[in-house]
Amino acid sequence: MEKEKTADVIQKITSLRSKKGYTYENMAHELDITPASYRKIEIGETKLTVERLFKIAEILDEPVSNLLEINGSVFNQTNNESSTCYQQQIAHFYQENKEVYEKLLKSKDEQIELLKSVMGKL
């Protein structure tokens, strides 16, 4: 199931790239990788990282939520005791992505502290 969802996201990226007339070379240049490396992302040989997903969305001028197709997901929940229905917006993120995000935040904080200490010495 996860592989299918990932394939759907990659297919959407490929389609948008083609519609905008961008080549592997264009995308690779913007991502600061080789065209062969970018091609591997689109054919699924290389995993699409969260960082690259955000950068690709920026390049394609497309919200990440549209690439992930989470903007219209609604979940209906029924409480059996009061028969009340609730609608909740579902934003499903995988644990792996959460861990990557947390590492990025920690790295950012460390870099800020390093820059503060360097600036303080100047």
- From the candidate CATH numbers 3.90.79.10, 3.30.70.3040, 1.10.260.40, 3.40.50.300, the one assigned to the domain spanning 2-68: 1.10.260.40
C-beta atoms surrounding 8 within 10 Å: 13
Give residue-wise pLDDT tens across range 48-66: 888 999 999 999 999 888 8
Give residue-wise pLDDT tens across range 85-118: 444 444 444 555 677 778 888 888 999 998 888 8
Indicate the domain borders of the chain: 2-68, 94-122
